[in-house]
Amino acid sequence: MTFDYDLFVIGGGSGGVRAARVASGEYGAKVGLAEESRMGGTCVIRGCVPKKLMVFASGFPAMVEEAQAYGWKIKAGAFDWRAFRTHLEAELDRLEGAYRNTLKTAGVIVHDDRATVVDPHRVRLASGQEVTARHILVATGGRPFVPEFPGSDLAVTSNEMFHLDALPKRALVVGGGYIASEFACILNGLGVKVSQYYRGAQILRGFDDEARGHVANAMQAQGIAIHCGTDVMRLEKTATGIRAVATDGSEAEYDLVLYATGRRPNTEGLGLEGIGITLGRSGEIPVDRFSQTAVPSVFAVGDVTGRINLTPVAIREGHAFADTVFGGKPTAFDHKLVASAIFTQPEMGSVGLSEEAAREQEPIEVYSTAFRPMKTAFAGKPDRVLMKLIVSQATRKVLGCHIVAPEAGEMIQLAAIAIGMGATKEQFDATCAVHPTMAEELVTMRKPVRTA
């Protein structure tokens, strides 16, 4: 059978674009790609990139305060949200253009249209056009999810946070994951009075307990009111804002309520069930280690698979797919030891096992230290950073590293290389410290604080 394309990709986010570019530009496949929204997907348009730029913006008041302690006669003026938003939108336009140019240079044919799967080798565009492909790759990502409850339509999601007409004076963030916690810190840094509700016992579930406790304490010290064991019962529109009635019996009024309680894969209406693909409980697409579905010609990468919902993971999955199917090099991305950073204030970087997960696996040693960093200590601030290593007693390998500190994301990227190579605690110890730095503590902790 002759096909219109060797590969047709549904979704123009990071994973889909990488797969399309490599398949076409490096391996010579004829590739088509359909994107119903803006090219770049969640990360570029409504996720990592605009969020990180907002993180940068929210950090300047603290920098000005520190600068005063260092002798600078300056003070922070008013934050111009509209000016920032205009610049932000221009930057996203530039990045979207770069994504489109990358695809064009690689020879990928782009369809600005919604696409659905008709059969294992046929895709229908919203325009009515149908195309055939030897292989179909679904890379449609995910979306924020707001549960239904009285007044839920009054809440916004992370998608809307980058396009607000004005900053609120009072904001409620609902959720305890990294997206909720990051936006709580961003808004707080921009001068918004922030409360955060989370129904669990502590925010950042799934991360190392000591590290997430450290982050929570720092957030509260900066003025964020974290209410754990609390959820919203209903939201009510008032003449002056939105009243939130909580499960703990409290009521408070806000100008904005942000829900960040989870995301769902974008699989609704794609036609996958009709060709024999049974979706998971949350709508995710089950795949094997090579990202292949139960239908041999159909593959899926990125958040839509519900594996690890991180942009670099989607990119690696997309590249591995192209290497496997079009490069003749069977490649399965290893989802173990994926480092991550949470851009709260302070940041948290993590790679490998938490203390809790490691001690269930084997006997371990825990090396941990918390201290005031030189920069903010000089400015008279009470900030403390955390450096933590989890070590196997049997093999001496470092099983996990957790950092809570400014620029923790930058540090954990480098630590991940050593841990991924199987570095032992003694090899960390043999590494000469870079002084004076925060990260030198990773190679100077000689005695475990506890064993388990």
Positions marked active-site: 435
Question: What gap in Å lies between CA 58 and CA 412, rounded to an integer?
Answer: 22
* DSSP-derived secondary structure for 172-207: EEE--SHHHHHHHHHHHHTT-EEEEEESSSSSSTTS
Helix (H) or strand (E) holding 217: helix 209-221
Query: Cβ(392)–Cβ(426) under 8 Å?
Result: no
Task: Report the amino acid identity of residue 236.
Answer: E
Instruction: List CB contacts of 95: < 8 A, sequence separation 6 or more.
Output: 40, 44, 49
Residue with tokens 């229908």: 124
d(CA 416, CA 403): 12
Q: Which residues pair with 133 in a beta bridge?
A: 5
Contact status, residue 211 vs residue 350, Cβ threshold 8 Å = yes
Rounded Cα–Cα distance for residues 315 and 311 (Å): 6
Task: Supply 62's token pair.
Answer: 């603290």
Give 325's contacts (C-beta < 8 A, 6+ positions apart).
Answer: 7, 23, 135, 299
